Amino acid sequence: MASEDHFDHIADAELKHLDKILGEIDPDELDVELSQGVLTCTFGDGQKLIINSHHAAGQIWMAAFRTAWHFSPHEEGGQVSWKTEKDELHAAVRRLLKEKIGREPAL
C-alpha cells in the first residue's frame, strides 16, 4: 500500500503544479480545471488537453489532438519526472501549447 500512497502523492502534486502554472494563461486562450485527478484544459476553439492520474497503471495519462501519452514516474535526487520511452510530460505540454497558442509556459 505504501507504494500506491506514494504514487497518489506524487501524481497529485504534479497535477496541482500543472493546474497552477497552466491556470496563469489567459482563460480566453486556455481554461483549466482540476477535478478528482483529472486536469482538463480547454482551448479557445473548444479543443481539449486532458491530463489525469491513472492509479491502476501507476502513470499519468495525457490525451490531446488524437494522440495519447502514458508517462511513468522517474525519481532521482528527490525529484520526480514523468516520462515515456521518448518523451517527458513537461516537454510534451510545452510543445502542445506552443503549437496551439504560440507560447510555452515555464513548467
**14-73, pLDDT tens digit by residue?**
999 999 999 999 999 999 999 999 999 999 999 999 999 999 999 999 999 999 999 999
pTM of full prediction above 0.85: yes
The residue segments making up the domain with residue 23 are: 2-101
pLDDT at 103: 84
CATH number, position 91: 3.30.920.10
Split into its structural domains, the chain has a count of 1
pLDDT at 101: 92
Domain membership of residue 38 (yes or no) is yes
Instruction: Give yes or no for residue 13 having a pLDDT over 70.
Output: yes
Q: How far apart are CA 14 and CA 74, in angstroms?
A: 13
Domain membership of residue 18 (yes or no) is yes
Domain membership of residue 106 (yes or no) is no
Domain membership of residue 107 (yes or no) is no
Q: Which long-range contacts (CB under 8 A, 24 or more apart) does 43-49 make?
A: 43/100, 43/101, 47/100, 49/93, 49/96
